[in-house]
């Protein structure tokens, strides 16, 4: 079988899976890092990050730390930290999440519930940090390691889509990027890159 080198997808990239448009996969999938779904998956998915593209369909349970949904997902969805449902996204069934972000036009139906575990951990970690004196100077940007999950996610999506981040019209900003520009965005907030 010949790999389509024009797509930019690298089969040697570790801990990442890509299900292309037109592909239907039936069964259970476990991915250590990232799975990008532009095709159809009929079965359960376990991964650290799940990205369902506009043409992506998942009929099964999803268990992940973070998820970015632009396609259609049914059954049970359990996201430990951050769930984003884009304007073209549709999630049906039982949804458990740490935090949820819905774009205008997103459809979420079923049983929604926030997990208390994530909120308790976030509250405990913020309580440990002493409140600094207020200053008129903006906070210094937070240094982020080059191998951060945002960088890996951007790279994986860029290669899976077959081009650069700018040509795909996709950019995922981290908190540090938002601080540099003087505005705050959540870690997986998507926005279109300037041409």
pLDDT (tens digit per residue) in 149-180: 566 666 666 666 565 444 333 334 444 444 44
User: Would you say residue 130 lies in a domain?
Assistant: no
Asked if 104 and 31 sit in the same domain, the reply is yes
How much is the pLDDT for 58?
98
User: Would you say residue 134 lies in a domain?
Assistant: no
- Inform me whether the pLDDT recorded for 75 exceeds 70: yes
Asked if 112 and 158 sit in the same domain, the reply is no
∠71-36-145 over CA atoms, to 5°? 125
Q: Indicate the number of domains in the chain.
A: 2
User: Would you say residue 37 lies in a domain?
Assistant: yes
User: Would you say residue 131 lies in a domain?
Assistant: no
pTM: 0.59
Rounded distance between C-alpha atoms, residue 172 and residue 130, angstroms: 30
User: Would you say residue 154 lies in a domain?
Assistant: yes
CA–centroid distance for 127 within its chain = 27
User: Would you say residue 128 lies in a domain?
Assistant: no
Asked if 98 and 178 sit in the same domain, the reply is no
pLDDT single digits (tens) 102-134: 999 999 999 999 987 766 666 666 555 544 555
Which residue range(s) make up the domain with 185? 141-191
Asked if 21 and 112 sit in the same domain, the reply is yes
Rounded distance between C-alpha atoms, residue 108 and residue 92, angstroms: 6
Q: Name the strand (E) or helix (H) holding 96.
A: strand 90-102
Q: Hey, how many other C-beta atoms are within 10 angstroms of the C-beta on 61? A: 18
Domain boundary among 63, 82, 117: 117
- Report residue 136: phi and psi, to 5°: -85, -10
Mean pLDDT of the chain: 74
Query: Is residue 100 very low, low, confident or very high in pLDDT (cuts 50, 70, 90)?
Result: very high
Asked if 113 and 183 sit in the same domain, the reply is no
Asked if 75 and 165 sit in the same domain, the reply is no
How much is the pLDDT for 15?
87
Closest listed residue to residue 63, CA positions, set 104, 98, 109, 13: 98
By percentage, how much of the chain surpasses pLDDT 70? 54
How much is the pLDDT for 14?
85
Asked if 92 and 45 sit in the same domain, the reply is yes
């Amino acid at each position: 079988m010949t790999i389509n080198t024009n797509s930019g997808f690298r089969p040697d990239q570790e801990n990442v899976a890509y299900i292309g448009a037109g592909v239907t996969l039936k069964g259970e999938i476990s991915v250590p890092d990232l799975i990008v779904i532009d095709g159809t998956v009929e079965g359960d998915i376990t991964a650290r990050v799940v990205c369902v593209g506009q043409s992506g369909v998942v009929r099964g349970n999803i268990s992940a730390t973070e998820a970015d949904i632009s396609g259609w997902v049914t059954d049970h969805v359990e996201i430990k930290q951050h769930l984003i449902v884009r304007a073209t996204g549709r999630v049906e069934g039982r949804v458990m999440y740490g935090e949820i972000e819905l774009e205008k036009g997103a459809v979420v139906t079923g049983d929604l519930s926030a997990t208390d575990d994530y909120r308790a951990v976030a509250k405990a970690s913020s309580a440990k940090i002493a409140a600094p004196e207020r200053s008129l100077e903006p906070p210094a940007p937070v240094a982020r390691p080059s191998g951060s999950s945002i960088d890996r996610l951007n790279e994986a999506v860029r290669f899976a889509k077959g081009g650069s981040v700018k040509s795909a019209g996709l950019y995922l900003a981290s908190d540090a990027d938002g601080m540099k520009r003087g505005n705050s965005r959540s870690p997986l907030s998507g926005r279109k890159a300037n041409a």
